[in-house]
Structure 1
Amino acid sequence: MEKCVEIYNQSKWLGDSLQNTYVDQYSSASVNAYNQKIAQHSQMINWFNQNCAGKQSRSACEAAMELNRKNGIPTQNCY
């Protein structure tokens, strides 16, 4: 379940980044870099939906708490 939390967070950060990305439509390098990020985001979302969506929320909460604890982030109670 920790992997689900990690993928969710990474895909959210990437999605947020994509929302603020400027793409120079006249630059093939800029367009290609953006398209690569879109493909990566899509792959992460698909993986999450296949492997994590619909799992019990308490397990997800506990995995998030453990991941936050490891990263020194304050945790909340799952109950």
Structure 2
Amino acid sequence: MPQHFPWQRSSFCGSGDSCVHIARTWQKSSHCSEGEACVHISTGPATIHLTESADPTHSILTTTPSTFRTLIHALKEETSARV
């Protein structure tokens, strides 16, 4: 599971130093076989975070639930069209 970027700042936090941070919980894709290259997902109230465990830059893609749902729908359509 990714260990980078484990904390998320509260969306209600102002610009000062006193702020609440929550720990993200990452979940490995159920379509991931054993090995290093796996997609991991972490969800928040208004965001979804994606990362790939073999990425040396530890990049995190952040999107909205609606956009993520559209991506998953498109991927499923593409997969079923190939069958």
> TM-score, normalising length from structure 1?
0.34
Structure number with the bigger relative contact order (C-alpha 8 A, sep ≥ 6) is: 1
Q: Which has the higher strand share?
A: 2
> TM-score, normalising length from structure 2?
0.33
